[in-house]
Amino acid sequence: MSATDAFEDALLDLLFLNTAIANIGDATGLTATTSAGSCQVSLHTVALTDTDTLLTTNECDYTGYARQTVARSGSGWTSTGGTASNAALIQFGEKTGGADDTAVHCGIGFIATGDVLRIHADLTSDLTISNGVNPQYAIGALDITLD
């Protein structure tokens, strides 16, 4: 079975824009949270799988790295046509020392769940992070789809 495009769009809106989904269970449906909160975006040195559960699994740890917090709102994300995308630049911090890392995967978790991994994907290409490199996603470059 497959979810409809409209339901996939509604799920992305709930996850990333904190927009309720009506008419699931009753007319109220799946409600938005009182406080929208944030999600965290992480980089990983080994590809994650659907059985991984933590953002800390093989997470980059170069000097200067920090997982990035993005608001669950229109200031953090856009959602249209089955894709949620970052609405602002996401920067992980410039590498200032230590051994190089190679990021191959991206993860997303939600602040209320701590380090719990919820969404993950391979990077388009591996990124070697050496001194002076500041990994980032330009506006609209991090696309999330449900399939």
Each residue of 107-141: pLDDT tens digit?
A: 999 987 779 999 999 999 999 999 999 999 999 99
DSSP conformation class of 117: -
Task: Write down the pTM of the prediction.
Answer: 0.92
Kindly provide the residue ranges of all beta strands, DSSP E only, lying in the chain, ordered along the sequence: 38-44, 68-71, 77-80, 83-86, 90-91, 101-110, 119-129, 136-137, 143-144
H or E element that contains 15: helix 5-17
The pLDDT tens digits along the chain (147 residues) read: 888 999 999 999 999 999 999 999 888 889 998 889 999 999 999 999 999 999 999 999 999 999 999 999 999 999 999 999 999 999 999 999 988 999 999 999 998 777 999 999 999 999 999 999 999 999 999 999 987
* CA pair distance 68, 39, nearest whole angstrom: 8
Tokens 């980059």 sit at which residue?
60
